[in-house]
Chain A
Amino acid sequence: MDPALNIVIVDENPVRAAILADGLREAGYTRVTRIEETTSLLARIYSLDPDVIVIDLENPSRDVLAQMFQVSRVVKRPIAMFVDQSDAAAIEAAVDAGVSAYIVDGLKKERIKGILDLCISRFNAFARLSNELERAQNALSERKVIDRAKGILMKVKNVSEADAYAMLRKTAMNENKKIADVAQSVVTAAELLK
């Protein structure tokens, strides 16, 4: 671990960038800067002069960083991809997690191995959280549809709530569908028949 390393995070997702920055600071890295705005990205990076750049793979600006590999008069310090041929596993783990890292050429890998590992685990954790959130939201909207369908059935068929739910469940089982899908059909049909 090397607290003096100057780390820049380029991520348009402010929540994920914050999670990563916190993680790095907790691990003892004190010089962490987030760039969320991607206009003049290269100029900002040059002015910050980082040792390590972390960028999310959903960011089209990743191609901008390709310019830093070019021999050109504007480049202060040559930048290299963190991983090289010998690190197929590290590249795969990073790409799977949706993150890529670049380092100043010549920086010893051992010094920043921990940073990449931390990025990968935080990105993965963020993806899990997002998935869970999405599932929770789906579940919520499914429950709303089912409630509406139950209401329609109770009114039209003049049955109790438990019976309405049983009807939905029975139909779903017979047709090999999800209850929410059957409920959606009921709601759609009711809209059409209004």
Chain B
Amino acid sequence: MSGDSLRIGFIPLADAAALIVAADRGFAAKEGLSLDLVREVSWSNVRDKLNIGLFDAAHLLAPVAIASSLGIGHIKMPLLVPFVLGANGNAITVSPALYSALALAADGGDVSDPRVSARALARVVTERRKRGADPLTFGMTFPFSCHNYLLRFWMAAGGVDPDEDIRLVVLPPPYMVDSLSSRQVDGFCVGAPWNSVAVELGIGHILHFGTDIFAQAPEKVLAVRAAWSANREDVLKRLVSALEQAAAFINDPRNLDEVVALLAAPARIGVSAELLERTLKGRLRVAPGETFRGDPDYILIGRNGSARPDPSDAAWLYAQMVRWQQAPWSPDLLSAAKACFRADIYEASRVVSAGSSSVAAQHFRAFTGPNFDPGDIPGYLAALQTTSKSRL
């Protein structure tokens, strides 16, 4: 059957793990699928090749899947998401100079607390403006990304306007570290392993894990074209089953060495096994020397119910786009966004319906601000604006 061979684009990042393990450890074959994983260099390429049908499916930034479906920022192409490949996994890294400035501005406060660091950032921004210095510059990986929304949420919580007070620039992840060392950026938000690379080189401090800002945020998804999926629901369900089994395999600590070896292969992620192991364990060196920090939820590959594409996750991402004026607010766009995240396909797959799926996710819990209510996005956005204005 020709429909059983799938060409899937991916970016070499730790949250492509479920795809790689499904392809290389026999879980796809068990479901009668053959996965041809194609490594790409940019999200724009992944998106375009999915759009024109060179890929059947793709490892994609969760917000890109929604933006594409809504026709925002690019050509409109309705996509659907039957599986969330990864949640969290990001961190905010700053230069040693900015770290010192933040610590000083925190006035004895603990900058590892995002409420403290956000206030300190606001003071640094004000002080720089007073003495006529250039605004601080932060790098992130794509306009439609949780990296962008994490940075903005954190900054705004301290009363910093990320569009007026800060320069936010897109940088390809491999260039992040260079840009920090050449002082073109003062900080960045990116996924593994780039934060660790900056710390190892002694040019960066990990200020926050993404989980300090959002307890659980959908990060990368498996996306397919809605039109392509129309007569392929069976293939999709088998793909979800393969990914669900791969995620379970990844999360069994006994398999860690094998998983890390599969991911580290040059044609896959191609970074050192040691860095990948630390990433999957959520134990990162955060400052030069032996300063480690651990968080079991640092990156989630299917754990804590994170693989389930909940339509309210899509609503939350859409709300971030509206907040930062990437998308206009409309109930129709909200419905279209929610319709991309197909929990029904996920739940109908053989493995998930057999009951291996775990607890419901702790969605959208942020370190500050109002609770997110997918039924009242205008109310959520209005409340955010008030808290930002009154500062912390």
Contacts and interface: CB of A to CB of B under 8 A. Distances in A.
Tell whether A and B belong to one assembly. Answer: yes
Contact of A57 (B45, B75, B325): B45
Nearest to B75: A85
B31 interface: no
Interface stretch (B176-184, B195-203, B244-252, B339-347): B176-184
Nearest to A38: B175
Interface stretch (B91-99, B165-173, B381-389): B165-173
B143 interface: yes
A89 to B, nearest CB: 10
Main secondary structure of the interface of B (DSSP, over half): loop
Given A39-B179, A42-B169, A62 B45 contact: yes
Interface in B139-155: 141-144
B143 A60 contact: no
A73 B44 contact: no
A153 to B, nearest CB: 35
Contact of B73 (A59, A61, A66): A66
Nearest to A96: B54
Contacts of B49: 95
Interface residues of B, number: 34
Contacts of A67: 143, 169-170
B76 interface: yes
A84 B144 CA distance: 19
A64 B163 contact: no
Nearest to B64: A66
Q: What's the interface size class on A, roughly? A: 20 to 34
A63 B184 CA distance: 17
B74 interface: yes
B9 to A, nearest CB: 12
Interface string A61-79: 1111111011111100000
Nearest to B46: A63
Interface of B: 41-45, 48-49, 51-52, 54, 73-76, 141-144, 163-164, 167, 169-175, 178-179, 182, 184, 325-326
Given A66-B143, A91-B48, A95-B52, 17 more contacts: A39-B178, A57-B42, A58-B41, A60-B42, A61-B175, A64-B170, A64-B171, A66-B73, A66-B144, A67-B169, A69-B73, A70-B73, A70-B326, A71-B325, A73-B164, A85-B75, A91-B51
The 5 A-B residue pairs with the shortest CB-CB distance, nearest first, are A60-B172, A62-B42, A67-B170, A62-B44, A63-B42
24 contacts: A39-B175, A39-B182, A39-B184, A40-B184, A42-B169, A57-B41, A57-B42, A59-B41, A60-B42, A60-B174, A63-B141, A63-B170, A64-B171, A65-B44, A67-B169, A69-B74, A71-B325, A81-B75, A83-B75, A85-B75, A91-B51, A91-B52, A100-B44, A100-B48
